[in-house]
């Protein structure tokens, strides 16, 4: 453990006497006001604080952006067995955040965290298997990892499970299952799940219900995705028979986020 700096001494003393819930609330607080406390807790080798500090350093929230320092804090937490940190190391290796890009190292960290039960790592590892990045292309493995994450309530993974059923990726094609998983994703608040669910409803002639879910998709979508959704919907409604695939192919990929919580979909219409 690093010795606390003099300026942190009183914070360190307060942290050591803090109740668990008070500490948890502190770590989730506003980045600007919480930054000195989070940094002090990280230096006390509190893994949750190290992960939070790493995220803040990636995004420049409350502290100056420093991806190399973020990677170092994730590594310390990961060495202590924190699976969220292990997933974030995978993110860093995949995208070159503070370390050279290495799909193989990303896959290794994702696998370690996924096998320990981290839903985001399971979702991320599913992408690598579906694309064949850092690991052999394996649709069966992709479907298995998406399913693991979805079983934990991961809304984005639910949408990908639905897409696997719709397309027959790693499992037998089953439109009823696809529709059910899209619905679950939509109800969990994911805009792509809502859009995909609306697409299948429209293709089956349930237009009124489809419109309701499309409106929900637009309301859930990030600002920079809404116009694209609207354009895709308008194009699709002119040819409902090809709605489910052609319309969604117009929706661009999501971008990676330093948060590690807004992850790209592996395909444009996933």
pLDDT in tens, 138-171: 999 999 999 999 999 999 999 999 999 999 999 9
Residue 28 lies in a domain: no
Predicted confidence at residue 83, as pLDDT, reads 98
Predicted confidence at residue 178, as pLDDT, reads 97
The whole domain housing 219 covers 161-270
Residue 255 lies in a domain: yes
Residue 180 lies in a domain: yes
Q: How many angstroms from the chain centroid is the CA of residue 133?
A: 17
Number of domains, the chain: 1
Q: Are 142 and 170 in contact (CB under 8 A)?
A: yes
Residue 178 lies in a domain: yes
Predicted confidence at residue 57, as pLDDT, reads 97
User: CA-to-CA distance for 9 and 24, rounded, in angstroms?
Assistant: 20
Residue 196 lies in a domain: yes
pLDDT class of 127 with cuts at 50, 70, 90:
very high
Q: Residue 244 carries which DSSP code?
A: I
* Better-scored residue on pLDDT, 105 or 265: 105
**Residue 174: is its pLDDT beyond 70?**
yes
pLDDT class of 25 with cuts at 50, 70, 90:
confident
Predicted confidence at residue 31, as pLDDT, reads 83
Q: Are 44 and 12 in contact (CB under 8 A)?
A: yes
Q: How many angstroms from the chain centroid is the CA of residue 207?
A: 31
Q: What is the residue-averaged pLDDT of the chain? A: 85
Residue 29 lies in a domain: no
Predicted confidence at residue 72, as pLDDT, reads 98
User: CA-to-CA distance for 248 and 240, rounded, in angstroms?
Assistant: 12
pLDDT in tens, 208-257: 999 999 999 999 999 988 998 888 887 766 655 444 454 454 444 443 33
Got the DSSP string for 10-77?
A: HHHHHHHT--HHHHHHHHTS-HHHHHHHHHHHHHTT-HHHHHHHHHHHHHTSSS---HHHHHHHHHHH
- In the block, residue with structure tokens 């919580």: 261
pLDDT in tens, 66-101: 999 999 999 999 999 999 999 999 999 999 999 999
pTM over 0.85: no
Residue 250 lies in a domain: yes
Contacts by 90-95, CB closer than 8 A, 24 or more apart = 90/121, 90/124, 90/125, 91/124, 91/256, 91/260, 92/67, 94/124, 94/128, 94/133, 94/134, 94/256, 95/256
Radius of gyration of the chain from its Cα atoms, rounded to whole angstroms: 21
């Amino acid at each position: 453990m690093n010795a606390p700096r003099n300026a942190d001494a009183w914070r360190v003393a307060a942290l050591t006497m803090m109740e668990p819930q008070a500490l948890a609330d502190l770590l989730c607080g506003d980045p600007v006001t919480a930054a000195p406390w989070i940094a002090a807790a990280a230096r006390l080798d509190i893994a949750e604080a190290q992960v939070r500090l790493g995220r803040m350093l990636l995004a420049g929230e409350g502290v100056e952006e420093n991806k190399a320092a973020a990677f170092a804090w994730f590594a310390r937490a990961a060495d202590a067995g924190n699976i969220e940190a292990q997933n974030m190391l995978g993110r860093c290796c995949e995208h070159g955040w503070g370390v050279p890009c290495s799909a193989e190292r990303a896959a290794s960290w994702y696998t370690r965290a996924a096998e320990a039960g981290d839903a985001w790592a399971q979702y991320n590892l599913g992408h690598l298997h579906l694309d064949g990045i850092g690991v052999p292309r394996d649709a069966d493995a992709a479907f298995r990892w998406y399913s693991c994450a979805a079983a934990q309530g991961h809304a984005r993974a639910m949408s990908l499970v639905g897409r696997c059923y719709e397309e027959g990726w790693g499992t037998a094609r089953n439109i009823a299952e696809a529709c059910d998983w899209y619905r679950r994703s939509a109800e969990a608040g994911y805009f792509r799940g809502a859009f995909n669910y609306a697409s299948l409803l429209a293709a089956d002639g349930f237009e009124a219900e489809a419109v309701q879910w499309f409106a929900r998709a637009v309301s859930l979508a990030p600002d920079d995705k809404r116009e694209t959704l609207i354009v895709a919907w308008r194009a699709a409604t002119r040819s409902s028979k090809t709605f489910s695939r052609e319309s969604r192919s117009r929706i661009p990929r999501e971008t990676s986020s330093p948060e590690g919580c807004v992850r790209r979909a592996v395909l444009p219409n996933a």
